[in-house]
């Protein structure tokens, strides 16, 4: 059976940027739900579900960050999976939309 190829540093950087952007987006949406609806009972269910998704995303980032340090101990840095909120490394909603549009144009 062939050996699986681990992620490269560039792929870790890509994952980190995308996951940080998704987390930021989910957090913004959760805060909006919490300002629009009660936090408890049925009205707060959607915000609690988003919090579970954020927690799962954080766990994923932590696991990948640990793997990055195991695989590339001399090149790893915390900013890969935990960039500053205003970092250009974070993939934001507008970036994702542009990528989607570019992909659909190239398929035509």
- Structural domain harbouring 24: 9-107
Would 1 be classed as within a structural domain? no
Two tokens at 101?
């549009």
Average pLDDT over residues 10-23: 91
**Count of domains in the chain?**
1
Q: CA–CA separation, 104 vs 90, rounded Å? A: 23
Flag whether 77 is in a domain: yes
Reported pTM? 0.76
Does 30 reside within a domain? yes
- Torsion, Cα 70 63 93 29, to 10 degrees, reads -160
The pLDDT tens digits for 36-89 are: 999 889 999 999 999 999 999 999 999 999 999 999 999 999 999 998 766 655
Q: Which of 18, 3, 8, 4 is nearest to 60 (CA)?
A: 18
Establish if 3 belongs to a structural domain.
Answer: no
Q: Is residue 71 part of a domain?
A: yes
Residue 85 lies inside a defined structural domain of this protein = yes
The span from the CA of 65 to the CA of 39, in Å, is 32
């Amino acid at each position: 059976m062939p050996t699986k190829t681990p992620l490269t540093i560039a792929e870790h950087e890509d994952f980190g940027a995308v996951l940080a952007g998704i987390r930021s987006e989910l957090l913004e949406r959760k805060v909006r739900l919490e300002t629009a609806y009660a936090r408890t009972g049925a009205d707060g269910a959607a915000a609690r579900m988003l919090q579970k998704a954020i927690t799962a995303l954080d766990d994923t980032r932590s696991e990948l960050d640990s793997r990055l340090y195991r695989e590339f101990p001399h090149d790893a840095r915390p900013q890969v999976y935990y960039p500053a909120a205003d970092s250009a490394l974070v993939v934001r909603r507008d970036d994702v939309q542009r990528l989607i549009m570019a992909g659909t144009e190239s398929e035509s």
